[in-house]
């Protein structure tokens, strides 16, 4: 089976992890700050806070922005459930903004219209979480302008998009957002096995997220309510979690970061190869916005709804590990029970009836790319 995505682990990655394994620190040593510094440099941002998953990163990002009961958080219906669940963890309510039919990302025009309605109803969101689907940046200039106009904060769910560019600069620089979040799950662009990270240009937000990832505990006397009892003293100043990244994971991440450009370049080659092979076969292919250079975490095609299941099953039968990213979150039974109605997001539901993620990963061979394209065209011709 050709998987839809997989990690690329080199001997250098293995050596880096083993060297940490035999060092003094398995966690909370030098590797995590070094990994954070590498991301800061890559993104051109001032702060990075590494954690044990992007789900944790989204949670502490919401908390640092003060999301709580009575607040509203908006995200895209076409995303992994974690982009919405983070608001529920904080006791806030979630709502969705339908996608754009071309980019499949949150549509800025639909966002603007929904904001105007929300303003009249007196229920504006506190935070909006655009998701860079497949590694293609959302229209962040438009979303950032709306954030200023309506006074909400922005968390970019950039789980798919480390190594991507927007307006000639790296995704994660937070030029139009408060916080950006990356995932390092093995199917993503680089991996730490499990892992995630928040970037921000706001020192207070970064400090808040550092406290939240480690029990809300500080060892800095100026952050305490009274002078330390002694040299052993630490103080819990807020309710935090154990969301720390281990040094084993960070060592792997640091080693992987040295190949980020290579990984993204290979994914771009594969996407270009698919573009060329699949054009003219009645498929809707990815259609990136001009300002963005995707990291190609996913390559999604759209087929006509009446042949969707047949093509999906046919590809699986040909040992091609296709997938569907994503089931619209408001259509999940858990979200329906909260009162969400997926019919309010027709573009997302149309996408769901058509989308198939075909394999793309850094160590995929051209032979495998050509096999996937050939099988897909064969199935399209037969159906
Ligand atoms: C993978 C992913 C997440 C969750 O990442 P984890 O690191 O597995 O917690 C969140 N949002 C999106 C869009 C993702 O693809």
Q: For residue 155, how far is its CA from the centre of ligand 1 (angstroms)?
A: 13
Q: What is the mean pLDDT of residues 154-177?
A: 98
| Residue 148 to residue 159: CA distance in whole angstroms | 24
Indicate whether residue 160 lines ligand 1 (CB < 6 A).
yes
Q: Given this model, what pLDDT does residue 279 score?
A: 96
pTM: 0.98
Q: For residue 304, how far is its CA from the centre of ligand 1 (angstroms)?
A: 28
Q: For residue 182, how far is its CA from the centre of ligand 1 (angstroms)?
A: 8
Q: Given this model, what pLDDT does residue 290 score?
A: 87
Of the CA atoms within 13 Å of residue 183, those in its CB half-sphere come to: 25
Name the residue of 81, 185, 190 to mutate for ligand 1: max ligand atoms within 8 A of Cβ. Answer: 185
Task: With a cut of 90, say whether residue 350 has pLDDT above it.
Answer: yes
Q: Given this model, what pLDDT does residue 289 score?
A: 86
Q: Given this model, what pLDDT does residue 165 score?
A: 98
Q: Is 68 in a helix, a strand, or coil? A: coil
Indicate whether residue 92 lines ligand 1 (CB < 6 A).
no
The residue to which tokens 């050596």 are assigned: 15
In angstroms, the Cα distances linking 341 to 31, 168, 351 are 45, 38, 16
The residue to which tokens 């996913």 are assigned: 298
Give the residue, by CA position, lying nearest to ligand 1 atom 15. Answer: 159
Task: With a cut of 90, say whether residue 380 has pLDDT above it.
Answer: yes
Q: What is the mean pLDDT of residues 294-299?
A: 98
Domains and CATH numbers, the chain: 2-257 (3.40.640.10), 260-382 (3.90.1150.10)
Q: Given this model, what pLDDT does residue 45 score?
A: 98
Task: With a cut of 90, say whether residue 264 has pLDDT above it.
Answer: yes
Diameter of the chain measured on Cα atoms? 76
Query: CA dihedral in degrees (19, 25, 31, 33; nearest 10)?
Result: -170
Q: What is the DSSP string of 140-176?
A: HHHHHHHHHHHT-EEEEE-TT-TT-EETTEETTS-TT
Q: For residue 248, how far is its CA from the centre of ligand 1 (angstroms)?
A: 20
Which run of H or of E encompasses 11?
A: helix 11-21
Indicate whether residue 192 lines ligand 1 (CB < 6 A).
no
pLDDT in tens, 125-148: 999 999 999 999 999 999 999 999
Computed over every residue of the chain, the mean pLDDT equals 98
Q: State the closest ligand 1 atom to the C-alpha of 188, by its place in the atom list counted from 1.
A: 1
Q: For residue 282, how far is its CA from the centre of ligand 1 (angstroms)?
A: 31
Q: Given this model, what pLDDT does residue 127 score?
A: 98
Task: With a cut of 90, say whether residue 16 has pLDDT above it.
Answer: yes
Q: For residue 82, how far is its CA from the centre of ligand 1 (angstroms)?
A: 6
Indicate whether residue 80 lines ligand 1 (CB < 6 A).
yes
Considering just the CA atoms, what is the radius of gyration of the chain in Å?
A: 21
Task: With a cut of 90, say whether residue 68 has pLDDT above it.
Answer: yes
Give the residue, by CA position, lying nearest to ligand 1 atom 10. Answer: 82
Q: How confident is the model at residue 288 (pLDDT cuts 50, 70, 90)?
A: confident
Buried b (16+ CB within 10 A) or exposed e, 32-70: beebbebbeebbebebbbbbbbbbbbbbbbbbbbebeee
């Amino acid at each position: 089976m050709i998987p839809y995505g997989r990690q690329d682990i080199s001997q250098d990655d293995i050596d880096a992890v083993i060297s940490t394994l035999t060092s003094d620190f398995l966690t909370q040593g030098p590797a995590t700050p070094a990994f954070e510094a590498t991301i800061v440099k890559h993104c051109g941002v001032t702060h990075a806070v590494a954690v044990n998953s992007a789900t944790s990163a989204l949670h502490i990002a919401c908390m640092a922005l003060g999301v709580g009961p009575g607040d509203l958080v908006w995200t895209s219906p076409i995303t992994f459930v974690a982009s919405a669940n983070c608001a529920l963890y904080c006791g806030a309510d979630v709502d969705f903004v339908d996608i754009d039919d071309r980019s499949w990302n949150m549509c800025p025009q639909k966002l603007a219209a929904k904001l105007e309605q929300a303003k009249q109803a007196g229920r504006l969101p506190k935070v909006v979480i655009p998701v860079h689907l497949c590694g293609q940046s959302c229209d962040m200039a438009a979303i950032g302008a709306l954030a200023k106009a309506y006074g909400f904060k922005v968390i970019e769910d950039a789980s798919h998009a480390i190594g991507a560019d927007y307006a000639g600069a790296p995704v994660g620089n937070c030029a139009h957002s408060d916080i950006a979040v990356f995932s390092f799950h093995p199917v993503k662009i680089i991996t730490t096995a499990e892992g995630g990270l928040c970037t921000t240009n706001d020192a207070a937000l970064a400090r808040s997220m550092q406290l939240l990832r480690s029990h809300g505990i500080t060892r800095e006397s100026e952050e305490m309510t009274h002078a330390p009892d002694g040299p052993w003293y630490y103080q819990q100043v807020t309710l935090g979690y154990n969301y720390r990244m281990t040094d084993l994971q960070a060592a792997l991440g640091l080693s992987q970061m040295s190949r980020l450009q290579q990984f993204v370049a290979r994914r771009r080659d594969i996407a270009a190869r698919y573009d060329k092979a699949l054009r003219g076969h009645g498929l809707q292919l990815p259609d990136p916005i001009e300002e963005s250079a995707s990291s190609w975490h996913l390559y999604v095609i759209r087929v006509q709804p009446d042949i969707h299941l047949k093509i999906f099953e046919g590809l699986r039968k040909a040992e091609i590990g296709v997938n569907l990213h994503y089931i619209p979150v408001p259509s999940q039974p858990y979200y329906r029970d909260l009162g969400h109605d997926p019919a309010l997001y027709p573009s997302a539901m149309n996408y769901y009836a058509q989308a198939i993620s075909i394999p793309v990963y850094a160590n995929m061979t051209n032979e495998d790319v050509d096999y996937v394209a050939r099988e897909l065209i064969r199935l399209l011709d037969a159906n």
